[in-house]
Structure 1
Amino acid sequence: MRAFAANLVGITVIGAVMTLGPMAQADPLAPEGKVLNIAHRGASGHAPEATLPAFDKARALNADYLELDAQLTRDGKLVAFHDTKVDRTTDGSGKLGEFTLSELQQLDAGSWFNAENPDKADSAFEGLRVPTLDQIVARYGTDEKYYIEIKSPDANPGLSEALVNWAEGHGLVEANAIVIQSFSQDALERAHALNPEIPLVQLVWYHPKGYEEGAALKEWSDVTPGPANLTEADLAAINDYAVGLGTNLTYKDRQVIDAAFVETVREAGLGLHVYTINDKATMRQLLDWGVTGLFTNYPDRLNAVLDR
């Protein structure tokens, strides 16, 4: 999942042009009126992303879901890691898929956070290891809810199958404790074919083709043509396999969705979860628009806005 600072001041609003019904429907993932607090790679504003301390902190802050990215090591082990290369958040270098689990877990996945965030530095973060999905579910069990991305399926062949099998084997499907997300429509459709009981969210990445006024929009994964051109057929295609849509709010400080887009998606019976929102003013604006979930590095801020 990409992280972006959203700024709603002075940004052009781009509207969806279609309506599908008289009122928005409930998010299939949430009770009526509830907004999901999705801890993006854990409480990654407070601790190194996708590490056990980040997930511990998210739980302590009462996030609704632990969000993480699943990838496969060279020896086929499922791990929580965002980038396709290990360079940014460990002291190693190279593609994650070239490491065995043993090799990967020799890397320091925490000290980088201390260097980049001296005001939040903690000696306990030094020497943290990349966690496996087995370690995560062993720590938190099926009482926790997990929002897991099929990350870079081209770099992780067989990931849809591995993740579905893992979720079934750990009782997460039966416990209604897992949501699977991906930018890849193909990866999600494979997961749906393997187990249609698992709720899926189609991620999309909207961006302007240019920066001139009125520039056309294109969706990163080519699942939909862009929010201004969204059609009933586009949403129906997503609804065939997914229960929600996850999208960015801005691209390089240019707003790419608006309240009309949110209404359109919700009237189609899909939840709408926006990433990655870290400031309270933007959270409030999106809640006013009617989004049903927010990805955030700071679940405490969102809970404060929600008055939880």
Structure 2
Amino acid sequence: MKGLLRNVLMSAALVGICSGVVGHAQAAEQINPSLTPNKILNVAHRGASGHAPEHTLLSYELGQQMKGDYIEVDLQMTKDGELIAMHDETLDRTTNGTGLVKNYTLKEIKQLDTGSWFNETYPQYAKDEYVGLKVPTLEEVIEKFGKGARYYIETKSPEVYPGMEEKLLEILDEYKLTGPNVPSNKVIIQSFSPESLKKVHSLNPYIPLVQLLWYDGPATITDAELEVYKTYSIGLGMNFNTIDEAYVQKVREHGLLIHPYTVNEKSDMRKLLDWGVTGMFTNFPDRLQEVLREANKITLKGNR
């Protein structure tokens, strides 16, 4: 596939550029193949959330089993300052509770069922074991999967939760997921908020950051915008159905990685790989793994 071949050819130049963002000489030592275009990242979006209730330990575990490269964790903060794995600011969609996360303590949120809704919404994937699942904290996720896993963490609505970034970095440091002896690919932090990412960058310039973008129509981006993003991030993520090959190549030519979201159909996965993306988010990491295996066979056959 032309995108994979192009990834290999562009690797050396891009690694050099991205290293400057992560931290000059130290980054050169820390840089890992999973943060270069040689490696197409398969990011299990909210875990294997096409198969199991999102942001539950079971969903994350299934994502690992399906060869997802990263556990993706969206963060919200409770009334008593605990970081939990949840996409929405409200409890309504994925639990049997209602109202804003910030208005409830962790103890109160722990009483909620975050699995039954999935069985009702997706009966074709329903399982009895999903009933009664609990909302995990970030610490519980890390304790479950340990330092052997990689984490792609999003600061959701950071303007609603003062101190979210400091709390996140405190936890990462406590569990030794950051630091001079930790590979730079162990944790990636993403956000739609440039302010949140810049804050993280000021507190720890060695953590790779990804700027999330949302487009309501066909995606466009300027050279000036890309150069600004490069000052604090190693890559961009955006809704995949708004971009085209020219957009992907423009991002790549500026030395940034590109991880579109949320790609669930194999035809879309193949198209994006042909365009040269360096990874993608999917609710079905098993599907992407199959597509990557197919692409690898084609690439190997073409190199014979």
Assess same fold via TM > 0.5.
Answer: yes
Q: 1:145 is matched with which residue?
A: 150
Aligned-partner Cα distance in 1 for 2:37–2:260 = 18
More strand by share: 1
TM-score by length of 2: 0.84
Q: Which runs of 5+ in 2 are unaligned?
A: 1-8, 19-33, 297-304
Q: 2:79 is matched with which residue?
A: 74
Letter in 1 for 2:70: Y
Question: How many residues were matched structurally?
Answer: 264
Letter in 2 for 1:42: G
Say whether the 8 Å CA contact 1:109–1:128 is kept in structure 2: yes
Compared with structure 1, are the counterparts of its residues 167 and 281 closer, same or farther at alpha carbon in structure 2 (3 Å cutoff)? same
Residue 233 (1) aligns with residue 242 (2): no
Compared with structure 1, are the counterparts of its residues 31 and 245 closer, same or farther at alpha carbon in structure 2 (3 Å cutoff)? closer
Letter in 1 for 2:279: G
Higher relative contact order, chain-length normalized (CA < 8 Å, sep 6+): 1
Residue 294 (1) aligns with residue 280 (2): yes
Say whether the 8 Å CA contact 2:74–2:153 is kept in structure 1: yes
Aligned-partner Cα distance in 2 for 1:115–1:239 = 43
Q: 2:113 is matched with which residue?
A: 108
Report matched runs for 1:45-60 at 5 Å: 45-60=50-65
More helix by share: 2
Report matched runs for 1:9-48 at 5 Å: 25-26=13-14, 29-48=34-53
Aligned-partner Cα distance in 2 for 1:45–1:204 = 22
What RMSD, in angstroms, separates the aligned Cα atoms of the two structures? 1.6
Aligned-partner Cα distance in 2 for 1:262–1:31 = 15
Which of 186, 190, 209 is the equivalent residue of 1:181?
190
Residue 193 (1) aligns with residue 174 (2): no
Residues 66-88 of structure 1 show CA distances to partners (whole Å, capped at 9, x for unaligned) of 11101111001111000000000
Deviation at 1:32, TM superposition (A): 4.2
Report matched runs for 1:99-178 at 5 Å: 99-174=104-179, 175-176=182-183, 177-178=186-187
* 25-34 or 173-182: bigger deviation: 25-34
Residue 305 (1) aligns with residue 291 (2): yes
Which of 94, 97, 114 is the equivalent residue of 1:92?
97
Say whether the 8 Å CA contact 1:26–1:33 is kept in structure 2: no
Which of 211, 214, 225 is the equivalent residue of 1:202?
211
TM-score by length of 1: 0.82
Q: 1:212 is matched with which residue?
A: none
1:235 match: secondary structure? helix
